[in-house]
A and B are shown apart, each in its own frame.
Chain A
């Protein structure tokens, strides 16, 4: 058990690190914000085309579906750490540096995009085919049909965004390897390398609270949106 003296010593250590901890929070939010937003847009588009090019959909095209599917599988096969290293020339070219939270965001966004693409495809597949047919029978444009699909799948899509966000939060811990910063990085540097267990515990608790918060909000929004 912790004695009162040990506890107050731990709190002192944490307070001494408050600047670093604050910076880690900021970095984590930057990485999460940028990567989730980009992944939703790119992954969303990719997922819609994956779905529409699949069998019996209106852009049905075996070659297109094969190519999109292969790209998705290939990108998803990369362990995140390897992807980060492999992409470093690319991130340097785009953001000017291979390290830091912005560079890490880019890698997170790519990894997240292909992950999210599959989730979107799967969600759209759950929309009853009859609804697409009814919309086609009205003479709706392809773009309108896509809007209907997304609207019918919206609660599942929100839950997928929730999963995406939590996965990216956990991926972002590995981003410390390229100086990405963030909470995960801090936990490894102080908690593991410097044996400051209280830092490790504090950050794990913070990450847990964030995961719980993201999941709970996702569930709540999805429930509100679901009229099925």
Chain B
């Protein structure tokens, strides 16, 4: 197994709201990610777990540089993304798919066009786009919805379009930012199965952010437990038991 994603001492802070000042009167910087290092193996499903404000979404967004770290390295598939030029970063991003809690589909394009769009962006040969879109819609079982607009779909279907769109250019990595948080339990289960299948059949490495322990338990091989911007520990889940050693980690794990 090789390393697919390596985060080396990454940090990220944001400028707070103007009304919050430090004691010296300067604007307050809120630290979302304390120095954090972690490694995700190729083919793994890796969870980022924590309460609200733990910095898990920010950490995920550092992986494709939607947020640029203040310091540290972000190495994906052997390349340090922080050193790339804008155009090389765009090319590297074709290799990192992403799905979102709010789906973020283009509402004025059909399901087919949403998926095709990502292929066009990734420079996929236009003659092959139709077949590739249909293949991807087949994987997420939405062939019959190709001509629909997102507004005509249920939440679970929208997220499956999101998945089809993300995996269309055959990325090596799929980032999932709370993909089931807007969905009901039954839809969540079928979506997790879909993600599991994609991981097994296509060998895509998946990093998933969630606050739901049940999602981690069903889906992940390993999970990082985060609290207030700090990585508490990385728990192995493959044996079905989650062993957390820190107090907060135990609290997270035994929540539900």
The one of A134, A144, A228 in contact with B108, judged by C-beta atoms closer than 8 angstroms, is: A228
Q: Which of A12-20, A39-47, A146-154, A160-168 contacts its partner?
A: A146-154
A228 to B106, CA, bound (A): 9
A141 to B108, CA, bound (A): 20
Q: Does A38 belong to the interface (CB within 8 Å)?
A: no
Q: Which of A73-81, A87-95, A125-133 contacts its partner?
A: A125-133
Residues of chain B within 8 A of A225, CB atoms compared? 108
| Contact across chains for B102 and A137 when beta carbons are under 8 A apart | no
A228 to B117, CA, bound (A): 18
Given known A-B contacts A138-B94, A138-B121, A141-B90, A152 and B102 have beta carbons under 8 A apart: no
| Contact across chains for B66 and A152 when beta carbons are under 8 A apart | no
Q: Does B71 belong to the interface (CB within 8 Å)?
A: no
Residues of chain B within 8 A of A138, CB atoms compared? 93-94, 98, 117-118, 121-122
| Contact across chains for B151 and A139 when beta carbons are under 8 A apart | no
- Name the prevailing secondary structure of the A interface residues: helix
Chain A proximity mask over B88-107: 1 for CB below 8 Å, otherwise 0: 01111110111010111111
| Contact across chains for A140 and B121 when beta carbons are under 8 A apart | yes
By size class, the interface of chain A is 20 to 34
State how many angstroms separate the Cβ of A155 from the closest Cβ of chain B.
8
Chain A residue with the shortest CB-CB distance to B149: A227
Q: Does B64 belong to the interface (CB within 8 Å)?
A: yes
By size class, the interface of chain B is 20 to 34
Chain B residue with the shortest CB-CB distance to A132: B104
Residues of chain A within 8 A of B90, CB atoms compared? 139-141
Given known A-B contacts A139-B91, A154-B108, A134 and B100 have beta carbons under 8 A apart: yes
Q: Does B109 belong to the interface (CB within 8 Å)?
A: yes
State how many angstroms separate the Cβ of A195 from the closest Cβ of chain B.
53
State how many angstroms separate the Cβ of A106 from the closest Cβ of chain B.
34
Residues of chain B within 8 A of A130, CB atoms compared? 100, 102-104
| Contact across chains for A139 and B106 when beta carbons are under 8 A apart | no
Which chain B residues (96-144) contact chain A, with CB distance < 8 Å? 96-98, 100, 102-109, 117-118, 121-122
| Contact across chains for A139 and B98 when beta carbons are under 8 A apart | no
| Contact across chains for A137 and B96 when beta carbons are under 8 A apart | yes
| Contact across chains for B151 and A228 when beta carbons are under 8 A apart | yes
Interface residues of chain A, those whose CB is within 8 Å of chain B, are: 128, 130-131, 133-141, 144, 148, 151-152, 154-155, 225-228
Q: What would 6 more interface pairs be, CB under 8 Å, given A139-B93, A151-B109? A: A134-B105, A138-B121, A155-B108, A225-B108, A227-B107, A227-B149
| Nearest 3 A/B pairs, CB to CB | A139-B93, A139-B90, A130-B104
Interface residues of chain B, those whose CB is within 8 Å of chain A, are: 64, 66, 89-94, 96-98, 100, 102-109, 117-118, 121-122, 149-151, 175
